[in-house]
Chain A
């Protein structure tokens, strides 16, 4: 086993550390001995060619998969084997490559659903939407309305998300993740399939979430321009292995990354 590369240390404590993680499905190895960390309040990009294991990595981080080897440490605690909802409760929110919203529910309801994790009144009151449940709902609605305002989606507040164009659905999904007030936000290709203008809007939202609320963000993205502009540090995967890790400019000039993306002459 190779010792993990030690990236240049920056400011901010390590929020999440991935140490020598491997993931296999039967004979297929999705991830092999990957190590990196995510520091508080940074934007961390995970890039790599198709099938490099980027989404598997995110799935490991939010508890959807459990690594076959290695360990993940979140906020200084080694994570036991856990379920996604436990990760969510721990402060990890995510969006998906292929938008996973409640299609027949409105934008507002989808984002409110993201808020449910923060609701405490008991089932009885929630059932009747009275007393403490009402008071709580008013508070949460206010928070959700702020997200709607922030993401500039007032005009689709009451539209079932299934009827929305893709770019807006992505925005609603981000809204739902934000409703959890996460410490770590995982974005799986937030800009896939978007046009230039939508990408710019999305970039602005991501930067603003990061700057205004100090949310730590890990994102997978294919648009290199976006990655280089947005992220503080980049980790590059290829065939389930980490091949580079560093600032965008370091990664861009790394020969192994260039080879992975452009192909090598044999």
Chain B
């Protein structure tokens, strides 16, 4: 749940002259809940498009007026099914308008929506649903219905399951199963009665900003997920910070494709959408996001680094297949963008007229078409989230004119902790404290913050809440970091993960892993070193990049496993590790964290096997147990090791993969206090 987000900003202010209609936002003091804000939108901008969903190949749209009517009827239908103030309803599925409306309809009644990660396997889901004591569930389709039914014996409190897509569900027992459409219809029928209509509106008016708006279960890098309780006041206040900072208004478009259970999506695609009246676009399916993004031309983009990484990797792979002329043109202008693009974007002085002209030519020939490909032609601000982004990747997008920024946030803060103001954007820091956010650094380096968006507590876990919140209202972020001389926060790792090696040298695993992951050929890396003599690493190759490389270099292989174990692949990765070691040697206090031995894993780390969290973050402890024989081999000097691991298929069945994995030794560089020499040598 700690997300670091970064964004690209371009000359935002220059592009939007006079659009200073300071956002109405929650200025309406009575609109202190989302249903009230929705009612306001229906009043203020009834005919503006609120939601779009691509269905049967066509963008279907709904105006704020229509959404209000649907949510109101839906709330009434849910009430008839027994959902009431304080009740809990699980929301499970891919980003669909009706699931967002389920959240709003529940809030209308004062019930608490609990979004759950749609790709969780049944047992994970059962834990959250049971812990949250949900009585209702609104889900997307047959897949989710099946999952819930398969664990229904663990969920005695669950009364009704609602679904959006009827496909495949025709022959199911419908005594506790309802289509959302039928619930809305039922609500509409009831609303024909004036008394009933007045009653449902009164229920909405009874809601208060201090009431719980939502419980977001964090994906849990360690242990069981925790339910973060957020009030309407907190979510609205946090959403307002972002809306004001980036001047979002009803003309903005966002594409909703990140898990709805993730705080980022909740703030961006739900809270900020309703607050500022911007339009939420739901893609047709997870596979069509890239194309749908292009069609919509989102103005406000949010993505974890891996999305930006894979777009860039794909572009680089494709350009190698292009004709010689195109390829040379691409490389020439990208090089030029590298040199001046970011400075132009930042509005820095001292760029020659010729360089500017050349950038403009590049813009016509390369940058604009690229932005169009990425679906970022109209982006006024983009953020990356969740993890650190590679500086090269970050700079690439900025240099071609995409205003990408980073910010640092957490579920417990309703996202915003630090942000990067225009003109102060750097790849290696996460920016200044966001407006209204106070930050202090504890003695052990941990970042603590206080903001209007902070959470009430963890659901049914007072002990953890007390551990996390200080008496004076600060929250322990769990991340270690420091402010640099410019007042920008730099995060190095999880506070508890920063280890020490046997000789006392500092070992921040994520810092080293991120350096590795910035190479397109490396998809994931896990480093060990705490309490050890030296640092050793597991590496996952990136199949797209490496298979392409293999094709070009005549390397044949039949499976992922074979490719991962190929000596030439090892040679290539070895070069990357060597570069990382040189870079670490050049940094103060990091020289001890150089990688002495590494291996390439025979399978991809996968959330279904519990190796990654649902937000694709490495679960170090779990991996250490699961691959214990490999770790032993890394530290006992053996040249290879045998391993067999259980894998879980998507339907929950299990199989076993076994392999013999080779280990490589690396050269370690002497630590230099002044790293400039080595850096220059690269």
Contacts and interface: CB of A to CB of B under 8 A. Distances in A.
A152 B167 CA distance: 11
Kindly name the residue among B56, B168, B288, B651 whose own CB sees the greatest number of chain A CB atoms within 10 A: B56
Contacts of A211: 170-171
Contacts of B57: 141, 145, 148, 154, 157
A102 B438 CA distance: 62
Interface string B179-190: 000000000000
Secondary structure call for the A interface: helix
Nearest to B283: A154
A146 B285 contact: no
Contacts of B55: 149
A209 to B, nearest CB: 11
Contact of A155 (B56, B168, B288): B288
Interface residues of A, number: 18
Given A149-B56, A155-B287, A197 B650 contact: yes
Kindly name the residue among A141, A149, A155 whose own CB sees the greatest number of chain B CB atoms within 10 A: A155
Given A150-B167, A200-B651, A142 B56 contact: yes
A212 interface: yes
Contacts of B171: 211
B310 to A, nearest CB: 15
B56 A197 contact: no
A11 B288 CA distance: 43
A9 interface: no
Interface in A118-177: 141-142, 145-146, 148-150, 152, 154-155, 157
Nearest to B285: A154
Interface in A200-240: 200, 204, 208, 211-212
Given A155-B285, A155-B287, A208 B56 contact: no
A196 interface: yes
A165 to B, nearest CB: 13
A176 B651 CA distance: 28
A200 B651 CA distance: 9
B288 A208 contact: no
Nearest to B287: A155
A157 B54 CA distance: 13
A182 B205 CA distance: 55
Given A145-B57, A152-B285, A212 B170 contact: yes
Interface string B614-651: 00000000000000000000000000000000000111
Interface string B129-145: 00000000000000000
B611 interface: no
B284 interface: yes
Contacts of A196: 649
Contacts of A157: 57
A141 B168 CA distance: 22
Interface string B188-232: 000000000000000000000000000000000000000000000
B98 to A, nearest CB: 16
Nearest to A149: B56
Contacts of A204: 168
Kindly name the residue among A149, A152, A204 whose own CB sees the greatest number of chain B CB atoms within 10 A: A149
A196 B650 CA distance: 10
A251 B333 CA distance: 68
A108 to B, nearest CB: 8
B257 to A, nearest CB: 13
Nearest to B171: A211
Nearest to A207: B168
Nearest to B286: A155
A171 to B, nearest CB: 13
Nearest to B288: A155
Given A152-B285, A155-B288, A211-B171, A145 B56 contact: yes
Given A150-B167, A196-B649, A197-B649, 13 more contacts: A142-B56, A145-B56, A146-B56, A148-B56, A149-B55, A149-B56, A154-B284, A154-B287, A155-B288, A208-B168, A211-B170, A211-B171, A212-B170
Interface of B: 55-58, 167-168, 170-171, 284-285, 287-288, 291, 649-651
Interchain residue pairs A-B with the least CB separation, the first 7: A155-B287, A145-B56, A155-B288, A154-B284, A145-B57, A154-B285, A154-B288
29 contacts: A145-B56, A145-B57, A145-B58, A146-B56, A148-B56, A148-B57, A149-B56, A150-B167, A152-B285, A154-B57, A154-B284, A154-B285, A154-B287, A155-B284, A155-B285, A155-B287, A155-B288, A155-B291, A157-B57, A196-B649, A197-B649, A200-B651, A204-B168, A208-B167, A208-B168, A211-B170, A211-B171, A212-B168, A212-B170
